[in-house]
Amino acid sequence: MITIAAIWIGALLLIGGYALDRVLARGIVQNFDQQLEYVLNAMIAASEIGPEGEVRFSRPPADQRFLEPYSGAYFQISGKGQEVFPSRSLWDRRLKADEAHNDVELHKRDSFEFEGEPLRILERDVVLPGSDVRWRFQVAQSREAIDGQLKELRSTLVRSFAALGLGLLVLAALQAIYGLWPLRRIRREVSAIRSGMQTRIAEDFPREVEPLVDEINELLAHSEAQAEEARRHAGNLAHALKTPLTVITNAATAHSSDLNDTVIREASVMRRQVDHHLARARAIGRRASAQARATVWESAEAVERAVSTLYPHVTIDLVGSKDPQVRVERQDLDEMLGNLVENAAKYGNGRVFITVDPAINGRVTVQIEDDGPGIAEAERTEMFERGKRLDTTGKPGTGLGLAIVRDVAEIYGGKISLDESEDLGGLLVTLSLPEAPQQIAA
């Protein structure tokens, strides 16, 4: 940041200094030229033609330097075929006059015709009354004074802009160091958290850095919550497997005659528990992705095709909006919808109705209805308990179970509810999930 600021400040000062130098230098030269033009116009106004056709002044020039040899102020009047009328200050020198050059308008130029004495010359061609000759009036002055002013000006500009640049660079450095200093403090705080000395960033920080500190603290809290959730998850799984293993061990120790049936039954229970917790673990892992999104209609269509293949006698109708997207991984959405639609097809009497509603207040709702016997209102809450199944007739079933659908939905910030279908008379399952934010086009 300091290097970029130094380059930028240097470039701006160079450009600004050059522009200011041009403006001030032009002003000095113009003021110098205006003085010479005043003298030139005064010479022309005081000039007349003498008896022999020569040029003479009706009144002498006011500047006494024209009388002092090599004084640095000179004039000269010349005409084709006429004798040159120089100032005494020229002494034995003469100003060059280009006869081929037509100076009806005022002409300004720099000249180095006198060795060691650069000149600023203004000249104009004039036809005086009583003469047909085109006279060249020239006024010259040494550039020593103007060059000294320009040198002093540029020296002052360089010193001033150098001091200004140094001051701006120091200010930029202090601003960068002071502005980034809170980040160094945050680094020390994070290091203290990693070493176990503290659990949160607790210092007071400037308002500009507070959002970052809050986000870091939220991230730490989120990580702790995930770790606690993982520990609780592992404990629940261990507790869920402990009872079936105890039953199998006791049956094997007692050489029970129905050992085979016991092992198969308890292994099925353990498998459901393992599937339950694996599904939760996958959903928790995927939840960390901020880019998770899935189109509900596409997932529902895929589930409808799969369930129709398993239950060809069931008619599945899919209606609603095709646009809503939810903040859920596609695989988890397929598993949730697949479980719900499969249950509706399995326990219904041949009709399943899926409705995808447009997003309202950041929520997308999917309703699955069937024409089966439904579930009594008093038993609906129990259906979400671990190990509870809708199957009370011995039908074989696969899928995650309503408990896992509820857990996965809650992991993503969703919810599920059971009700009675008004149209089909069976069970109505409503799955509500958070809408995915709109993607910004690149």
**Which residues, listed in sequence order, are joined to residue 43 by a DSSP beta bridge?**
none
Query: What pLDDT does residue 397 have?
Result: 44
| pLDDT tens sequence for the chain (442 residues) | 888 989 999 999 999 999 999 999 999 999 999 999 999 999 999 988 888 888 888 888 888 899 999 999 999 999 888 888 999 999 999 998 877 777 778 899 999 989 889 999 999 999 888 888 889 999 999 999 888 999 999 999 999 999 999 999 999 888 888 888 888 888 888 888 888 888 888 777 888 888 888 888 888 887 887 777 777 767 777 777 887 888 888 888 888 888 888 888 888 878 877 776 776 666 666 555 556 789 999 999 999 999 999 899 999 999 999 999 998 888 889 888 998 999 899 888 999 999 999 999 999 999 999 998 888 877 777 776 654 554 544 454 433 467 778 888 888 889 999 999 888 889 999 999 999 887 654 4
Residue 415 is predicted with a pLDDT of 92
User: Which pLDDT does position 390 carry in this prediction?
Assistant: 46
Name 422's Cβ contacts closer than 8 Å, sequence gap at least 6.
Answer: 428
The answer to pTM > 0.85 is no
The first and second tokens of residue 267, run together, are 């292994």
Query: What b/e sequence results for 56-83 when a residue is b if at least 16 CB atoms lie within 10 Å of its CB, and e otherwise?
Result: eeeeebebebbeeeebbbbbbbbbeeee
Name the architecture of domain 294-434: 2-Layer Sandwich (3.30)
pLDDT reported for residue 363? 94
The per-residue pLDDT for 41 is 92
CATH of domain 2-148: 3.30.450
pLDDT value at residue 221: 85
pLDDT tens digits for range 378-428: 777 777 665 455 454 445 443 346 777 888 888 888 999 999 988 888 999
> For residue 86, what are the contacts with CB-CB under 8 A and spacing of at least 6?
74, 75, 76, 77, 94, 95
Tokens of 93: 């020198």
State the Cα–Cα distance between residues 202 and 189, nearest whole angstrom.
Answer: 8
Q: Start-end ranges of CATH 3.30.565.10 in the chain?
A: 294-434
pLDDT at 329: 86
pLDDT tens-digit series, residues 213-244? 888 888 888 788 777 777 776 777 777 788 78
N-term to C-term CA, the chain: 27
pLDDT at 319: 94
